[in-house]
């Protein structure tokens, strides 16, 4: 998925750069009549092509909301944990769950945007979403291994952003 995103980003950037260079190259020529083949006519066509492509891509890729808790047919969670991001700490109403439970985090923030990110070990990002003031974001996670999962902030939110840390304790099945 990351590779597809990278390749499509590079292709899109290449297209934008090519159009930009084409426009720059054309700008030095004398403006001709506004016929169907004139630069102005081509710009107008490209503009509408870009708008149509953007609409099609958005519709195709954003149809399914990527955060499970918000889907219309989201499964019913076993546990709901309410979490609030503050400058500079996480407030959780519960921090212990069991392996296999479907945990739904309901996230908000009291001040500015924070990024709620759950890590297994130092490198493996299990799940993440935004914690935003005035809005409740739902994130469903099913932990498959017991252990202590660190919660860090992924959105730079101020001077002590790096200190925002909490721990989700995942215990073996009872």
CB 153, min distance to Cu ion, A: 3
Q: Which is nearer to Cu ion, 81 or 153 (CB)?
A: 153
Q: Which is nearer to Cu ion, 37 or 134 (CB)?
A: 134
CB 148, min distance to Cu ion, A: 20
Q: Which is nearer to Cu ion, 77 or 115 (CB)?
A: 115
Residues near Cu ion (CB under 5 A): 114, 153, 157, 161
CB 120, min distance to Cu ion, A: 20
CB 70, min distance to Cu ion, A: 22
Q: Are 88 and 112 in contact (CB under 8 A)?
A: no
Q: Which is nearer to Cu ion, 87 or 101 (CB)?
A: 87
CB 109, min distance to Cu ion, A: 10
For 139, other C-beta atoms within 10 Å of its C-beta total 22
Measured in whole angstroms, the distance separating CA 98 from the mean position of its chain's CA atoms is 27
Q: Are 82 and 106 in contact (CB under 8 A)?
A: yes
Q: Are 117 and 128 in contact (CB under 8 A)?
A: yes
Q: Helix (H, G, I), strand (E, B), or coil: what is residue 17?
A: helix
Phi-psi region of 36 (alpha: psi -120 to 50; beta: other; left: phi over 0): alpha
**CA–CA distance, 165 with 174 (Å, rounded to integer):** 27
Q: Which is nearer to Cu ion, 22 or 88 (CB)?
A: 88
Q: Which is nearer to Cu ion, 53 or 160 (CB)?
A: 160
**CA–CA distance, 28 with 16 (Å, rounded to integer):** 19
CB 92, min distance to Cu ion, A: 16
Cα–Cα separations (whole angstroms), residue 135 to 63, 114, 115:
21, 12, 13
């Amino acid at each position: 998925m990351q590779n597809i995103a990278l390749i499509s980003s590079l292709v899109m950037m290449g297209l934008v750069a090519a159009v930009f260079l084409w426009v720059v190259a054309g700008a030095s020529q004398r403006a001709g009549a506004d016929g169907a083949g004139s630069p102005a006519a081509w710009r107008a066509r490209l503009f509408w092509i870009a708008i149509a492509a953007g609409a099609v891509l958005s519709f195709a890729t954003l149809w399914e909301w990527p955060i499970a808790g918000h889907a219309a047919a989201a499964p019913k969670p076993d546990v709901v944990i309410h979490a609030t991001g503050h400058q500079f700490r996480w407030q959780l109403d519960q921090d212990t769950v069991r392996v296999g439970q479907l945990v739904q985090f309901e996230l908000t923030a009291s001040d500015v945007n924070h990024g709620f990110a759950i890590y297994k070990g130092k490198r493996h990002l299990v799940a993440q979403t935004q914690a935003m003031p005035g809005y409740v974001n739902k994130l469903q996670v099913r932990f498959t291994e017991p252990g202590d999962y660190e919660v860090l902030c992924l959105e730079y939110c101020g001077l002590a952003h790096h200190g925002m840390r909490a721990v989700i304790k995942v215990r073996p099945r009872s």
